[in-house]
Amino acid sequence: MVPDKIAIVEAEPYPFELWPSRCALIVIDMQRDFLEPGGFGEMLGNDVSQLRRTIEPNRKLLAAWRAAGLFVVHTREGHRPDLADLPPAKRIRGRGKMHIGDQGPMGRILVRGEKGHDIIPELYPIGGEPVIDKPGKGAFHATDLHTILQYHGIRQLVVTGVTTEVCVNTTVREANDRGFDCLVLEDCVGSYFREFQEMGLRMIKAQGGIFGWVGNSKDVIKAIGKS
Ligand code: TIU
């Protein structure tokens, strides 16, 4: 049975009132191509260790969240094999040698069904945890995420995943405009760039929590253990 008691989580700019039965954990884009050595992210010259430090805190959080019987949603960024949902602007952006849909180190880059597109084994979804395949940076755009959250009575999101300033921030902003309260966990989100990690989080909690709250996984685990 899911507990129906409010749990207070230490957070900035002020404590977050977590309502377990109304709160989903959303794990954003923890995909091999972004996180694994030899993947697309590293091929673009990024330091994947900045993202890999989030794996262990996410693993512990996921275990505690599942043990408490709470709702989990995972997302993956990627496109249909025929690329019909890939905006031409997104395909050519960056003027790099490799594009989405090309053969990369772990299959076709950001294409659904390919090895590199899938979630890393450490955080692999289990039965009953919806996986949202999203063509954009935000998890609400062109997906059924909002419908799924509504059917489960969800009003709050604990947000983790990568990258902090791109898919995490975009999703938090989309969620905020749809009326969800978001708590972003600093040890469970990562950016290839240290300064974007810091500013990405500061932008969320500034101005009295303009987009939401920032906390850490230890405080969430403590809070759901007590709820
Ligand atoms: N998931 C996500 O953030 N997609 C990106 O492309 N992120 C980058 O930082 N490039």
pLDDT tens string, the chain, 227 residues long: the values are 455 789 999 999 999 999 999 999 999 999 999 999 988 888 888 999 999 999 999 999 999 999 999 999 999 999 999 999 999 999 988 787 889 999 998 999 999 999 999 999 999 999 999 999 999 999 999 999 999 999 999 999 999 999 999 999 999 999 999 999 999 999 999 999 999 999 999 999 999 999 999 999 999 999 999 76
Say if CB 28 and CB 75 are below 8 A apart: yes
> pLDDT value at position 1?
45
> What is the distance between the alpha carbons of residues 188 and 24, in angstroms, rounded to a whole number?
15
Per annotation, catalytic residue among 23, 29, 182, 219: 29
pTM, 2 dp: 0.97
Question: Which atom in ligand 1 lies closest to the alpha carbon of residue 31?
Answer: 1
Q: What stretch of H or E contains 157?
A: strand 156-162
Q: Determine the distance separating the centroid of ligand 1 and the alpha carbon of 163, expressed in angstroms.
A: 5
